[in-house]
Structure 1
Amino acid sequence: MTSLTTPAAPTAPVSVSATPPGARRARRRGAALGLLAWLVGILFVLPVVWMALTSFHSEADAATNPPSLTAPLTLDGYREFFGVNGGADPWPPLLNSLGASLFSTAFVLVLALPAAYALSIRRVRKWTDVMFFFLSTKMLPVVAGLLPVYLFAKNTGFLDNIWLLVILYTSMNLPIAVWMMQSFLSEVPVALIEAAQMDGAKLPTVLLRVVAPIAAPGIAATSLICFIFSWNELLFANVLTGVVAQTAPAFLTGFVTSQGLFLAQVCAASMVISLPVLAAGFAAQDKLVQGLSLGAVK
């Protein structure tokens, strides 16, 4: 006699969550950080957007309190800046700022690249003391050296001379450039340099053919920062220049007159003077981020 067994009832499938709780928390944390980054970015960009909008308003609409967002747009502020209505010509100050910034940045790179090479790859004795010396030159406030520099320029006939600004901007940006490029050049493989030297390459060839291409993002970041610092410098340019060597920031102060502050004109002038720096930043944005983050992750 055969015994019949009833088949067991099928068990219900066990529900397994698609994503573990840790992944969900990490996703929410990433979304919150992304939202916070957007808010911080908007806070930084909002004044620039507001300045751009005000530059297209008339003086009457720009001076209203609270400002009107729906006010009619006009180019009167830009016409005043470019001297269409008989104002001062802005092109000499703009060209002076461009020349001083480009020449000083070029001189900084020529001097900083060998110095950073000696401090990172072929390290000199007591290189940390040298680095501290470069850093110590930035501890003195710029205004503390203004009077000696002014007396020197006056006695040597360098007042209102664009080359004096080039020398000053080079000396001001050189410590920063050496510090930045020293960290960038530390990432260059020494084996490549030794191979080039075994093939008979001299120091200039090593710097230009081996080191410079590898450290190109760092060099681009250093160049951009030095250019921005030179372009935005106001104290020396306002004191040591007059008419011939006046730079764009010093020219911008002329819009603050005894009659009052013409807000639309100042915003229009600020937008035009900021455009070269903004264009350079956008053009070298990837190099800047790559250069500033070079060596951050091991």
Structure 2
Amino acid sequence: MASTMLLTTGRSTTRRTKPMRKRAGSAALTFITWVLTVGMFFPIAWMVFTAFKTEKAAATNPPTFITQLTLENFEAVFDRGFLVYLTNSFTASVVSTLIVMVLAIPAAYGLSVRPLIRSTDALFFFISTKFMPLAAIVIPIYLLLQNMGLLDNISALSILYVGMNLPLAIWMMRSFLSEVPGEIIEAAQVDGASFWTELVRIVMPIVAPGMAAAALICFIFAWNEYFLANLLTSTVARTTPPFLGSFVSGRGQFLAVLSAAATLAVLPVVIAGWIAQKRLVRGLAMGAIK
């Protein structure tokens, strides 16, 4: 009898211990997640906070947390023509993203829903264009644009961004389109739908979240691109990333003004991500199923 009671007590203790261990593990995971989140967000928060400091307060070491706040840095940024650079970045990013999506969706459709002969070779060709670093091809690109009179031209920069982002968009859209049920497409074909009707009216609404995810990633890559924008533009087509680099010069580092310019530069991307967040999360989840 005593042994039976001890055995029953041991089992009940084990049952209580398991939920406690589970709760402790969940609490520890939550704590670690919050630590990582705060650690990743802190540099951005510090940049925004520095944008409202004076240059003297921003350069103090150790840094000051309680200081006078000012809007002079933002005024200085716009006085240096920031709106022109912002417009160039927006134009190049939006135009290149639209062209990429117009080209990537039919190409991905042909590689997934209606597979072409040797489609694997075509996919490898697309991704192989990303193997070579930009530094290895920038001189031929520079000479070509120079001979064509397209240096410091926002249209030429947009076309280069199309070539930079198109392989990535094709791979992403192929992953999304591969998840479209074949029965829906077959039903549309039986009803006599043409290729473009099938693509535009049947398939694209299904993969709209994936399209939003691919478009947003291409937009971010074009918006943040520095190397080509710095080497192939000077004044007329200069974009935001090279403009931000101009705040670090031989005269020193203007941290407060740079932080103000960087804060304004990330706002369009943050706003675009916030608007498309629901479709973005769903679209990235679509691409992760297979």
Give the TM-score normalised by the residue count of structure 2: 0.92
Rounded to whole Å, the distance in 1 between the matches of 2:284 and 2:17 is 35
Query: Deviation per CA, 1:218-254, whole angstroms, max 9, x where unpaired?
Result: 1100000000000000111111111111111122222
1:96 to 88, 92, 97: 88
* Structure 1 residue ranges, 4+ long, deviating more than 6 angstroms after superposition: none
Letter aligned with residue 71 of structure 2? L
For 2:243, the equivalent position in structure 1 comes to: 251
CA–CA separation in structure 1 for the residues paired with 2:151 and 2:131: 26
Q: Counterpart of 1:26 in 2: which secondary structure?
A: helix
How far apart, CA to CA, are the structure 1 residues paired with 2:184 and 2:50?
54
Kindly provide the amino acid, as one letter, of the partner of residue 266 in structure 2.
S
SS at match of 2:236: coil
- Report the counterpart of residue 222 of structure 1 in structure 2: 214
Question: Which residue does 1:64 correspond to in 2?
Answer: 60
Residue pair 2:172, 2:287 contacting (<8 A) in 1 also: no
Say which is worse superposed, 170-179 or 248-257, in terms of deviation: 248-257
Correspondence 1:52 to 2:48: yes
Equivalent in the alignment of 1:280: 272
Q: Is the 8 A contact 2:210 2:287 kept in 1?
A: no
CA displacement at 1:21 relative to structure 2? 4.1
Residue aligning to 1:4: none
What is the match of residue 30 of structure 2? 34
- Aligned-pair distance for 1:17? 6.8
Structure 2 residue 143 is the aligned partner of structure 1 residue 151: yes
> Structure 2: which 5+ residue stretches go unaligned?
1-7
Shift of 1:45: 0.5
Partner of 2:4: none
Matched, 1:204 2:196: yes
Q: Summarize deviations over 1:148-176 as a string: whole Å, max 9, x none.
A: 00000000000111011110000000010
1:76 and 2:72 are equivalent in the alignment: yes
Aligned runs of 1:258-269 on 2, under 5 Å? Answer: 258-269=250-261
Distance in 1 of aligned mates of 2:13 and 2:172: 49
Identical residues among aligned pairs (%) = 49
RMSD: 1.8
TM-aligned CA deviation for residue 284 of structure 1: 1.4
Please say if 1:173 is aligned against 2:169: no
**Residue type of the alignment partner of 2:51:** S
More helix by share: 2
Distance 1:21 1:117 in 2: 53
Q: CA deviation at 1:31?
A: 2.3
What is the identity, as a one-letter code, of the residue corresponding to 1:199? Answer: D
Local SS of the residue matching 1:152? helix
Structure 1 residues 210-219 or 198-207, which shifts more? 198-207
Q: CA deviation at 1:20?
A: 5.2
Q: 1:211 to 1:92 in 2, by over 3 A?
A: same
Aligned-partner Cα distance in 1 for 2:180–2:40 = 35
| Aligned pairs for 1:12-23 within 5 A | 21-23=17-19
Give the counterpart of 2:156 among 134, 148, 164: 164
Structure 1, residues 88-123: CA drift from partner, whole Å, max 9, x if none?
211111111101100100001011101111111111
Measured in 2, the distance between the counterparts of 1:21 and 1:151 equals 71
Counterpart position of 2:128:
136
2:101 alignment partner, one of 104, 109, 117: 109
Q: How far apart are the structure 2 equivalents of 1:292 and 1:220?
A: 9
Specify the structure having the higher radius of gyration (Cα): 1
- What amino acid sits opposite 1:54 in the alignment? T
Determine the structure 2 residue equivalent to 1:127.
119
Instruction: Output the amino acid matched with 1:249.
Output: P
Q: Distance in 1 between matches of 2:122 and 2:277?
A: 31
Give SS of 1:294's match.
helix
1:38/1:206 CA distance change after superposition, 3 Å? same
Choose 274-283 or 250-259, whichever is displaced more: 250-259
For 1:136 and 1:29, the matched residues in 2 are separated by: 43
2:177 corresponding residue in structure 1: 185
Q: Take 2:252 and 2:287, find their aligned partners in 1: how far apart are those partners?
A: 50
* Alignment-derived partner of residue 3 in structure 1: none
For residues 132-158 of structure 1, what are the alpha-carbon distances to aligned partners after superposition, in whole Å with 9 as ceiling and x for unaligned? 111111110011111000000000000
